[in-house]
Every structure is written in C-alpha cells, then in structure tokens.
Amino acid sequence: MNTAEIPNQTLNEAYHAIAERREVKPAALDRQTVDEAEFMAALAYVLGVPLVEPADLTGALLVECGKLTAELETAALMEYKFVPLARRGETLVVISSCPWDPITTEVLLGYFQQCSQLKFVLASPHCLQALFNHLQKAEAKNHEPAAAGYVPKPLLAKATIPQSPSGAAASAVPEETPTGQHPSSVVMPPGTSRPVAAKIAASKGAATTTPATVATGIGSPAQPAGGAPMLTPEDIGHLINVLALEIQRLLQQKTRQSL
C-alpha cells in the first residue's frame, strides 16, 4: 500500500499500534517487515472503522453494492476510491481505501444528498480493486447494447380471415387513420419511460381506429398509394430503442461529470 497518501499522524499511530502488538518500541520497529494485512488491521484499529478483506467479498456483499452502484460508472468509483455498500436511513455506509480524504466525503454527500452521515469501512487497495473488477463485469453485462443484437422480425404472413355471414371477405390490410398513419406499439428498454410523442400518437390512433381496422389488423403493414415502402412497427420500435440507449448513455456521462 502507498503510505504516502496517509496523513502522517494516522500513519505513525498505525505503526505504533503494530509495535505494541509485537511488544517492541516504535523506534525499533522495522517497517519493512510489516505486510499489507498487518498494516491494514492496525490502520482500521487506529481509525476505529471495520475492515473488509478479500475473503469478505461474498455474493451477498456484492449484491448489496450493486444496488447502490447501478446508476454509477465504475470508472468514477475507481477515481475516488470508494464503493457505496448500504443505506440505513440517512446514513450511507461506504467501502473506501482512503476514508481520510475530504474529497471522497464531499463527492459522496454531493451525490447521495438524501444521506447526511457517512460511515466508512476500510479496504486495502488490493481488496478494493477486486471489488471494482466485479462491478466492471456486472456493468459490461448490463450495458450490452441491445440495438447491436437487433434482428428484424420477419413480416407476418397474411392471415386468412374467415368470411362474414354475408359472404364478403374481410380485408387483410389495415385501413389508414385520418392522419394517414398506422398506430404501432413502441418497445422501450427496461427503466426507460415511453416518449410523450409516442403516447399522444398511440392515443390518437386508438381513438380514431375504425372497427374495420381492429377486425382486419392482422396482415402485413400497409403500403402508401405510390407503392413506396413504409417503416414497419418493428423498425419504429428499433429506432426508438436506439434513441433511448443514447439518452441513457448521455445521462451516465452527466452523472460522471457531476461526480
């Protein structure tokens, strides 16, 4: 561990605690013989905080960390050397390798404004890096681009509509609404609200849909009079998905800048 970042008083107190444990005078203590595990235990004792070791990174702890870091980028957490662990009322419990850093406290209180108090849990840089590695894997898994794996669905074949009692065949092509557009469902990624424009368009389409459109809307997408192909509902849903992912990416960048 890089002891240069630790305040001198805290550092000296940690080595003094190690000397007392070894039953030697602090001046006679060979600091080169102190390994990371012994030093971190003494440092946690001096600071009066719990200590997290690599063996403590269980599945339950990782799940708890994931709940509070879902909206945070791991790169920003690595920069400030902390990982939120739990929220207990107005108290935020944080794992950090440098709890004495005032910038860490400022960033945490600035982002988690609903929490007025912080409780730190000390972790060695090695242990904290292991935690970051797990979060990076979870972040990469959750941010797999859905648009990149988009596969256009094949157009539905024209369904055979049974004839009405009068013997007239129902049309397999939906009728156009007065606005000249077909109402279509919008597929949004989880956690993304539906655009207002899409809600308005869908409500207008539902209000102006004729009975014939409802009864015969099983066929393939309608074509304009000129024969030029129109966007299918699947294409529209795909475009909106891409737009939603871009908005989510920009929000994450804004969150990182605020940190």
Q: What share of the chain in percent tops pLDDT 90? A: 31
Handedness of CA 250, 253, 258, 259 (dihedral sign): positive
69 & 138 share domain: yes
C-alpha 139/C-alpha 83 separation (Å) is 14
Q: What is the 3-state secondary structure (H, E, C) of the chain?
A: CCHHHCCHHHHHHHHHHHHHHHCCCHHHCCHHHCCHHHHHHHHHHHHCCCEECHHHCCHHHHHHHHHHHCCCCHHHHHHHCEEEEEEECCEEEEEECCCCCHHHHHHHHHHCCCCCEEEEEEECHHHHHHHHHHHHHHHHHHCCCCCCCCCCCCCCCCCCCCCCCCCCCCCCCCCCCCCCCCCCCCCCCCCCCCCHHHHHHHHHHHHHCCHHHHHCCCCCCCCCCCCCCCCCHHHHHHHHHHHHHHHHHHHHHHHHHHC
**Number of structural domains the chain divides into:** 3
Q: Averaging pLDDT over each range in 184-198, 203-217, 244-258, which range is the top one?
A: 244-258
- Whether residue 86 is found in the same domain as residue 139: yes
Same-domain check for residues 42 and 66: no
pLDDT at residue number 151: 43
**What is the percent of the chain with per-residue pLDDT over 70, rounded to a whole number?**
64
Q: Answer yes or no: is 114 within a domain.
A: yes
Average confidence (pLDDT) over 32-58: 93
Same domain, 44 and 107: no
Pairing mode of beta strands 117-123, 91-96: parallel
pLDDT attached to residue 237? 77
- Residue that wins the pLDDT comparison between 194 and 77: 77
Residue 195 belongs to a domain: yes
Please give the pLDDT value at position 247. 82
pLDDT at residue 213 tops 80: no
Instruction: Confirm whether pTM is higher than 0.85.
Output: no
Q: Please check whether residue 190 lies inside any domain of the structure.
A: yes
Give the structural domain span for 186: 151-157+173-218+227-259
Mean pLDDT of the chain: 73
Query: Does residue 113 lie within any of the structural domains?
Result: yes
CATH number, position 80: 3.30.300.160
Contact in structure between 86 and 64 (CB atoms under 8 Å): yes
Distance CA(220)–CA(255), nearest Å, equals: 43
More confident residue, 167 or 249: 249
Confidence of residue 172 (pLDDT cuts 50, 70, 90): very low
Identify whether residues 42 and 100 lie together within a single domain.
Answer: no
Whether residues 192 and 241 fall in one domain: yes
Amino acid making up residue 61: L
CB 135 within 8 A of CB 75: no
| pLDDT given for residue 41 in this prediction | 94
pLDDT, residue 86, reads 92
Q: Could you tell me if residue 11 is inside a domain?
A: yes
Tens digit of pLDDT for each residue in 118-158? 999 999 999 999 999 988 887 777 655 544 444 444 444 44
Question: Does residue 164 form part of some domain?
Answer: no
Flag the least confident range among 40-44, 102-106, 185-189. Answer: 185-189
